[in-house]
Amino acid sequence: MSAHRRKPRDPKPPVSVSRGGRSRSRRLRLTRTLLATGCALVVLAGATAWYLYDDLASSIGSSKALEGAEKSKSGDVNILLMGLDSRRDQNGEDLPPAILEKLHAGASSEVGGYNTNTLILLHVPAGGGRAKAFSVPRDDFVQLHGVPGFTGKAKIKEAYGRAKAKAEDQLAAKGVTDRRQLEREGREAGRKAELETVRSFLGVPIDHFAELNLAGFYHLADALGGVPVCLKKPVKDGYSGADFPAGRQTLNGQQSLAFVRQRHGLSMGDLDRTRRQQAFLAGATYQLNQAGTFTDPVKLMKLIDSAKQDVVTDQGWDLLSFVKQAKNLSGGNVEFVTLPIEGFERNHGAEINVVDDMKIKRFIAERIGPGASASPSAPGAAPSSPGAPNTPQGSAPASSRGSGPASSAPAPAPAPSPSSSGTPAIDGGGVPCVD
């Protein structure tokens, strides 16, 4: 054995950890955990947003109808909403009989054709501010544009269907027989003609558009869990299926379509139907905000799935940005206005709205131009509530037709107050009351 044994090392003294040190260590671990969780949530949120956008952009029908068209200046955005009175889907296939029965829209998909019975120009000013939605009455008699072989005037709703039929005839003459190709290219021609006609009539650029078919109102209402509306008096109409009591109520998909389609039994006819469409959109945006759709992924996905079935938009529209912006439009920040008409006439047996083209252009420019204000003193611009009957300028009242100078849908209804007749006014509970 070695004479020199190694001296054993002294054991290390126990480390004393203070209570404060343990607390700091726990806080550090907690901080790291929270940071990691936060980063994960950010990544998840980003991934979810991208998925929603990719799903929305890749699934909704896309159109090149606005390719090369003039755009708005200074950041303003004009969006044309087009509602087709068609009983066919985007591929030209008949809607199922069960759906047609629910829509109360006729047993045949041939009924209705391809008229754009809803035309609304939504103007969103740059940098925020209150948006304006201009409803164009479907029977306005205007110069059509983009319809091959047609020169002259017709109802503004007819530009789409006339151009579509002409394009299909030209394709068929070239030997094209594929139904889907005929439908696809025919609809593109229809969109271009309708967009060009509306753009020329209103005198403003159209930056984006959304096309909705007849079933769209049905699916939208169901996706939102119902749409709140308010009626000043009870209505019952066998043509549209409308059968509603007076007051505020929430409509399902089938009821919503009846609500926006009714014109029989309304004193102002088609113009009352236009106000119904405005009230439906006001109720839908109110419901979007109240139901928290924009912050609830499940509800948002249901809304997106609904849009896939019925909506076509222009190619290149950043829909995710618009969905975010739509949240700002859902708090009553949209003013609805119906464009003025001069009176009623008949053309080849059909009733038409007589309009003054230059007055319409001035009317639009004064409301969306620089420094514009919705002054009722503008030519042809005497606003009224959606249900108030107005006599068109230069014409007598008509029992089955709408009329009159421009009318603005009211902001959310105020508290009820006695009317001049002594009957309490109806409270819409945040949505406009209409006839």
Decide if pLDDT at 66 tops 60.
yes
Decide if pLDDT at 185 tops 90.
yes
Q: Specify the pLDDT at position 12.
A: 58
Compare 434 and 431 and report the one with higher pLDDT. Answer: 434
Q: Decide: 237 and 264 in contact? Cβ < 8 Å.
A: yes
Q: Decide: 315 and 65 in contact? Cβ < 8 Å.
A: no
Q: Decide: 229 and 251 in contact? Cβ < 8 Å.
A: yes
Decide if pLDDT at 396 tops 60.
no
Q: Specify the pLDDT at position 44.
A: 41
| Of 32-41, 74-83, 316-325, 404-413, minimum mean pLDDT range | 404-413
Decide if pLDDT at 111 tops 80.
no
Decide if pLDDT at 115 tops 70.
yes
Q: Which residues contact 173 (CB under 8 A, 6 or more apart)?
A: none
Q: Specify the pLDDT at position 79.
A: 95
Q: Specify the pLDDT at position 334.
A: 85
Q: Specify the pLDDT at position 41.
A: 45
Confidence of residue 92 (pLDDT cuts 50, 70, 90): confident
Q: Specify the pLDDT at position 386.
A: 37
b or e along 219-253 (b: 16 or more beta carbons within 10 Å of the residue's beta carbon)? Answer: bbbbbbebbbbbbbeebebeebbbebeebbbbbeb
Q: Specify the pLDDT at position 310.
A: 83
Average pLDDT over residues 207-225: 87
Q: Specify the pLDDT at position 249.
A: 94
- The distance in angstroms from the start CA to the end CA of the chain is 114
Tokens, residue 3? 């004479």
pLDDT in tens, 331-341: 567 889 999 99
Decide if pLDDT at 88 tops 60.
yes
pLDDT more than 90, % of the chain: 38
| Of 29-38, 124-133, 141-150, 287-296, minimum mean pLDDT range | 29-38
Q: How many angstroms separate the CA atoms of 388 and 263, rounded?
A: 15
Q: Decide: 229 and 248 in contact? Cβ < 8 Å.
A: yes
Q: What angle do CA 427, 367, 395 make, to 5 degrees?
A: 75
Confidence of residue 401 (pLDDT cuts 50, 70, 90): very low
Q: Specify the pLDDT at position 145.
A: 97
b or e along 32-49 (b: 16 or more beta carbons within 10 Å of the residue's beta carbon)? Answer: eeeeeeeeeeeeeeeeee
What is the pTM for the complete model shown? 0.75
Report the relative pairing of strands 343-347 and 350-354 from DSSP bridges. antiparallel
Q: What is the average pLDDT score of the chain? A: 76
Q: What angle do CA 87, 92, 93 make, to 5 degrees?
A: 75
Decide if pLDDT at 414 tops 50.
no
pLDDT in tens, 342-394: 999 999 999 999 999 999 999 999 998 754 433 333 333 333 333 333 444 43
Of 269, 288, 372, 385, which is closest to residue 328 (Cα–Cα)?
288
CA distances (Å), origin 230, targets 250, 284, 333, 419: 9, 12, 19, 17
Of 133, 126, 156, which is closest to residue 144 (Cα–Cα)?
156
| Of 144-148, 376-380, 406-410, 411-415, minimum mean pLDDT range | 376-380
| Of 55-64, 104-113, 246-255, 321-330, minimum mean pLDDT range | 104-113
Q: Specify the pLDDT at position 427.
A: 52
